[in-house]
Structure 1
Amino acid sequence: MDVGVIGQAAGLFAVTNVDDIVILALFFARSAGRRGAGLRITAGQYLGFLAILAVAVPAAFGATLLPGSAIGYLGLLPLALGLRAAWRTWRERDGDGEDDTPVARGGPGPLEVAAVTFANGGDNIGVYVPVFATAGTDAMGVYAAVFLILVAVWCAAGRFLATRPFVAGALSRWGHIALPVVLIALGLVILAEGGAFGL
């Protein structure tokens, strides 16, 4: 196994997924103390990243599954989830603070995390396709393996950040506001950068 390819894969993953650590930290902070939430977040991150690879790998072979014009519309996923989270936060401010929905009881579900990961990875697909196409089949397998290993590292880093006293305090105080804001902003950026709706 070529160490150079492993290093390149690790570097490419880190550069294209820096923003995921912040989102993961917010998910972990909002789910603190909820049984099984960490596993659901990690499972969702893997599902979302596998979906990114499921598009990027065939596209590298020339079987483009997602037209370039559709990438921008992936921003609708985090935008919708952010608006939903904002609505829930707004609704809870005058109530008793208890939301009995399954998401509130157990934190975000795997499909919610996967949707955000996939939508946020729209730009990743654009980067991965040419790299995979020029790397060749063997190197592409190394890239995919390294990426999947680093997803676990990213989840651990997000959880670590969410449990640091200073970060955890800030996220517990402001996380219910920060998560919707980050998701809505992420959705709008993806829509704008992808030229969705003529933006």
Structure 2
Amino acid sequence: MDVGLIGRAAGMFAVTNLDDLVLLAVFFGQAAGRRGQVKVVAGQFLGFAAILAVSVAGALGAGLLPDGAVRWLGVLPILLGLRAAWQAFHTGDDEPVPAAGVLGIALVCFANGGDNVGVYVPAFAASGSLASYVVVFLVGVAVWCVAGRFLATRPAVARVLARRGHLVLPVVLVGLGVLILAGAF
């Protein structure tokens, strides 16, 4: 695997899933004992696998587009970034967190990451290295689970992420869209 590709994929995963890190910290904080922690991890992987499945299907469909058209899919992350900026400055960020069962966590992960599909599809379609992205993203989920557990034991860190994560996301989404439009993927 290309080191640059790994870096881009890891960066994309990190910035599009900052909110998941906060949610994981909350879920781990609610989880009682080892069995509860296993449910959090299983739910996160199940929900993210669904996001990846939808994204891969979309990227493969985008492969049917004429040459040069795929980069125009970069408009989608720009629009999502503008929407995230609008929400960050005009609405509260109070997401309900359901009980920490496997299915509940998977559904929250999928619903929370639905906008990630709009970022992943054009990046996957433009990269030509779909399998590499999927591998890096699955490793990212494992790292996020470890980090979420770590944050669950440090409430001050979780509060900072919860307060500032929504401000970083719009900037990164717009930047990612510009890179896709420029053909950097």
Q: State percent identity of aligned pairs.
A: 12
In the alignment, which residue of structure 2 is the partner of 1:104?
Answer: 96
In the alignment, which residue of structure 1 is the partner of 2:101?
Answer: none
In structure 1, C-alpha distance between the alignment counterparts of 2:47 and 2:84, rounded to whole Å = 14
CA contact (8 A) 1:78 1:115 kept: no
In structure 2, C-alpha distance between the alignment counterparts of 1:43 and 1:180, rounded to whole Å = 24
CA contact (8 A) 1:25 1:159 kept: no
Task: With the length of structure 1 as denominator, give the TM-score of the two structures.
Answer: 0.58
In structure 1, C-alpha distance between the alignment counterparts of 2:54 and 2:88, rounded to whole Å = 23
1:173 Cα offset (Å): 2.5
Structure number with bigger Rg? 1
- Does 1:179 pair with 2:171? no
In structure 1, C-alpha distance between the alignment counterparts of 2:16 and 2:154, rounded to whole Å = 14
Give matches, 1:23-172, under 5 Å: 23-24=16-17, 26-34=19-27, 39=42, 41-60=44-63, 63-64=64-65, 67-81=70-84, 83-84=86-87, 87-89=91-93, 99=94, 103-106=95-98, 108-120=108-120, 122-128=122-128, 131=129, 144=131, 148=134, 150-164=136-150, 168-169=154-155, 171-172=157-158
In the alignment, structure 2 segments of 5+ residues that lack a partner are 31-38, 99-104
In the alignment, which residue of structure 2 is the partner of 1:193?
Answer: 179
In structure 1, C-alpha distance between the alignment counterparts of 2:139 and 2:24, rounded to whole Å = 19
- Equivalent residue letter for 1:111: A
1:113 Cα offset (Å): 0.9
Query: What is the RMSD computed on CA atoms of the aligned residues?
Result: 3.8
Task: With the length of structure 2 as denominator, give the TM-score of the two structures.
Answer: 0.61
In structure 2, C-alpha distance between the alignment counterparts of 1:70 and 1:187, rounded to whole Å = 13
In the alignment, which residue of structure 2 is the partner of 1:134?
Answer: none
In the alignment, structure 1 segments of 5+ residues that lack a partner are 1-7, 90-98, 132-142
